[in-house]
Structure 1
Amino acid sequence: MNAVAAVLAALGARIAAVSPAPGPLDLLVVGVVVAAAVLWHPLWRRLRHGITIVHEAGHGFAATITRRRLSGIRLHSDTSGLTVSVGRPRGPGMVLTLAAGYPAPSAAGVLAAWAVGAGHAAAALWAALVLLALVLVQIRNWFGLLSVLVSGALVAAATWWLDPVWRMRIALALTALLLIGGLRAAIELGGARRRDRRGTSDADQLARISVLPGGVWTALFVLASLLALAGGVLLLHPPLPHA
């Protein structure tokens, strides 16, 4: 029992470890690097897998809280994903489940920005590990399993071995990826809808079971991502008080 208590105490200390709040130079450098990575298509194709994981986690979370039965999550090499839940095919629960995907990375980015800005970068990284663990148990294909395990290994390494300053920078980079990548994914939805004649996108499915057309849902996703990005910036670098 003493050994277990010691391990839990050590784990709690790591989760609660304080990191310095990001300075203006950290914000500038990390923001520019992540923005460039998201805008550069070859690298974005790889980073988007992380956005897809959070996107599908959003569907899964919404399905769970609306009491739908979550059947599994699949992640594909083309950066698409699929979350399957069982329940009524229409109604508020299904609408919320479908609508939760695109805002999920941005919402996670806002929460991460709050933690990093408050000096709790370690807690933000541990929260990411918990999210990945919850997704892992729902994965139903090999590529999805590999994607989640690799993401988890990278986050765990940053959490366990980096010093507080670099831990803050990695958490800040993850925050920027969620906020900026979430916005790009929402913007890309418009093009994806034009290419997909089957109407399988979240926005098109929402249009079939709600009163709003797919284009309005797409615009709402983009607007939510823009608001989250603005909120994340304010949480990380609040405006200076007037003299």
Structure 2
Amino acid sequence: MFITIACKSNFPTVTLMDFSMFSEICKFLDSHVVLATIDRLFIAANVEIIANDENPDKELCRFEFFEILLRISQAKYRETNIVSTPSEAFEKLLKENVFANYKTHPWQEFRDKELWTVDVNDVFEANLESIRKIYSSFFDPRKKYMTMGDALDLFMKMTPLQLTEKDAIFCHGMCKMTCVNEAEESSVKYKRLQFVELLEMIGRVAEVKFRGTEMEHQLGLAQKIEFILDDLFAPYELKRRDVKIVVDEQSESDDEY
């Protein structure tokens, strides 16, 4: 859930404005929990005992997002004597407010059901060399990786795809692997794009680009990716390679002679 919200906000964090919208969707607000309460709890969850450049002062990273949900649950259910324990309040908030009202975008499910398939793998395998050329084009003597900024430029400005900033940030955030320790690794894990993440980002862009169109349900993800690769390759004067279908001829077994 946090990934979905952050990808629609200021990835990899969530702004106060976006969290306030999330609060309204989840129906946190009532006579006891008002917007001023959300503002106060947002500030409380952002307090840093030790200054940390990895953690923005006015935005929520993942562990702060969990903390503010806990704080809201206490204000909404425990302090009003609806429940008696912190765990009951938190469970009630999650079940009745969060999970019941907020629809998350498939993160791991997209990988398991659509991205990690033979058809998609075949398309990437056939064009891996060209994709690596694009990836390495962002290198310099001291930088052997793509950054988030590089990825946004690639999909928003440098190719015919012309993705909106909102969609580009969303696709970048959804393709990222889990950052275990956000307090120490977020600038590296979230701001650098690994090659395997670029492959997933291409898949995410393909899904977003065709959403709401006539071809959304007519084409499989592998076919959508082929269209995206055509646009990605064009400025680099690269040509997409079609998947070669190999048919194995089965020989007769000895028993059939």
Does the alignment reach a TM-score above 0.5? no
More helix by share: 1
Higher relative contact order (Cα pairs below 8 Å, separated by 6+ residues):
1
Superposition TM-score, scaled by structure 1 size? 0.24
Between Structure 1 and Structure 2, whose CA radius of gyration is higher? 2
